[in-house]
Amino acid sequence: MAGQGKISARQKMINLMYLVFIAIMAMTVAPEVLSAFGLMEEKFEKANEVTTEMNTRLLADLDTKGKENPKEFAAASNKSKMVSTASDKFYRFIETQKQDILRMGGYEADAATGRLPFEKMKKGDKLDEKWFTGDRLTKEGDKFINAINTYKKEIKDILGVDQFYSKFIENFERKFDITEVKDSEGVKKSWLDYHFKGFPSIASYTKLTAMQNDVKVTQADLNNLFLGNAAVEATSLNKYQAIVLADKSAFFAGEKFQGKIVIGKYANVPPTALEVNGQQYDVSEVINEEGAAVVDFNVGNVGEHEISGKFTFLENGEELPIEIKGNYVVVPRPNSATISADKMNVVYRGVANPMTISFAGVPDNKVNASAPGLTKTGNGKYVMRPGSGREVKISVTGTLDDGSKSSDSKTFRIKDLPKPLGAFNGQNGVKLPRNNVEIGRLSASFGDDFDFNLPLNITSFTMKVPGKPSVNCSGNRLNSAAKNALRSARRGDIVQFINIKAKAEGTSVKIKTVTPIVIELAN
């Protein structure tokens, strides 16, 4: 017998008697019993095929989720791969033991059906010789026990001390329990001895297939636990936070806040595509570490605007679009300070006073300004043509996004146009030759400090020469009587132009009398 080494004659005799006893037992096993073992073996084989396929799908699912959402599923995916490696290694080891049983017994499967010759697999002496030597195990027997212990240690090391797996480990220990067993007579035997020694080959072969099934079921259970634990972690409330979702991104002072407060979390699942307001973004450039999309675009004109678009994710191999919908409010940029001189709020009677009127944060189409003589000419642009009175009040009302209204007003003083300044050939208070005066023209203006472009036309004036009667003239030139009076003047005489009347173009308002013009004759 293999593996006996140096043993006593008595022990050799006991071993020989044992082999004879096993041979007799094997011969007495009914073919029906052997067939029953074979049928069980076939069922376990079918179950292993189904479980292997299920494990493949679960492993692929965890791998996909680990890539799509590494923060929540990467750890579970890695553990699943480690369990798969350990389980496949142990499963293949068991398969080598099964093949040794067939090889040592000379058993071959039917070429047509693939079925093993169950009824012929009576003897178990070859496996006994391989694993046992007397009451002890051979090196091959120790190798089998060590393989079981290694597999158990690898699985438990993968799970660590996480209490989530405590119930599984308890069942796992029972499933692969290889401690000593008491037989029906109360005698303690090693686990391998109790379960395999003296059994027909088909029984041992079936038990090994059943153990392979335990390995496959263990892997399936852990895959489901990993997937479930990751999902529990992902949906645990301590992973969530309160998120404020305002109905709009800008509110006015005194306005009621409108929005929602929800419990949620920011997904770090990378999308495959992103579109906002019709613009496509490169997700590799705009998605940050928190899974948020950082985008920029032109906000547009003052007023409320909508944001629309969609995220596209890949889930279970299919595209999953998620709609983006929101809004924001554009308010005028504060690029200038509001500075006013309280005493300088003035509009002039008889001219078109240009004005810009707006309401901070309110689009122009929702701003209404009113006052006597006020006319809108464009986007925020108005013209004030004040009438009678000394003051005019401009009232402004803005309609906010919620339909409420906000009002303001400002009072302006109404002033008449200033007294025009007279000039002769563009000059006043200068020396001119007699001939220049005779052919010259009178003019009037409101001066450089007057900001309105309001041309004036001289309609009449009175000329006074020393020692001569005053001469009234129409228009802006000297008539013949005025020229005759001018010829009688001497060098150094002062010629005055008084009672100058003027009229402004484009207005019927009465212009004040123009200031007098004084000219000294140079010859």
Query: Residue 393 belongs to a domain with what CATH number?
Result: 2.60.40.10
Distances, alpha carbon 273 to alpha carbons 97, 265, 284, 323, 465, in Å:
53, 20, 9, 12, 92
Q: Which of 286, 301, 330 is the last residue of a domain?
A: 330
- Give pLDDT, residue 24: 46
At residue 214, the pLDDT reads: 92
User: Nearest CA to 98 among 151, 45, 142, 56?
Assistant: 45
Answer yes or no: is 3 within a domain.
no
Angle at 491 between CA 487 and CA 495, to 5 degrees: 65
- Name the DSSP class of 185: T
Q: Are residues 133 and 270 in the same domain?
A: no
Structurally, the chain folds into a number of domains equal to 4
Shared-domain flag, residues 357 and 211 = no
Which residue positions in the chain have pLDDT lower than 70? Answer: 1-38, 229-259, 261-270, 289-291, 299, 302-303, 314-318, 329, 331-343, 361
Q: What is the pLDDT of residue 233?
A: 45
Q: What is the pLDDT of residue 475?
A: 93
149 and 261: one domain? no
403 and 467, same domain (yes or no) = no
What was the pLDDT predicted at 3?
A: 44
In this structure, the answer to whether residues 369 and 290 fall within a common structural domain is no
Q: How many CB atoms lie within 10 A of CB 358?
A: 17
Measured distance CA(504)–CA(514) in Å, rounded: 12
| 321-330 per-position pLDDT tens digit | 888 777 776 7
Cα separation, 274 vs 308, in Å, equals 11
The reply to whether 149 and 42 lie within a common domain is yes
Cα atoms in the Cβ-side hemisphere of radius 13 Å centred on 499: 10
pLDDT attached to residue 2:
43
pTM value is: 0.45
Give me the domain span that covers residue 68: 9-237
Is residue 337 domain-resident? no
**Token pair of 59, please?**
């492993």
Same domain, yes or no: 393 and 433: no
Whether 67 is in a domain gets the answer: yes
Check whether residue 80 and residue 180 sit in a common domain: yes
Query: Of 176, 203, 237, at which residue does a domain stop?
Result: 237
Residues in contact with 425: Cβ distance below 8 Å, sequence separation at least 6, in sequence order: 432, 436, 440, 441
Residue 404 shares a structural domain with residue 456: no
**What is the C-alpha separation between 194 and 181, in angstroms, rounded?**
7
pLDDT reported for residue 266? 59
Looking at the domain assignment, is residue 209 inside a domain? yes
Q: What is the per-residue pLDDT across 410-463, written as a single tens digit (0 to 9) for each? A: 889 988 888 899 999 888 888 999 999 999 999 999 887 787 888 899 999 999
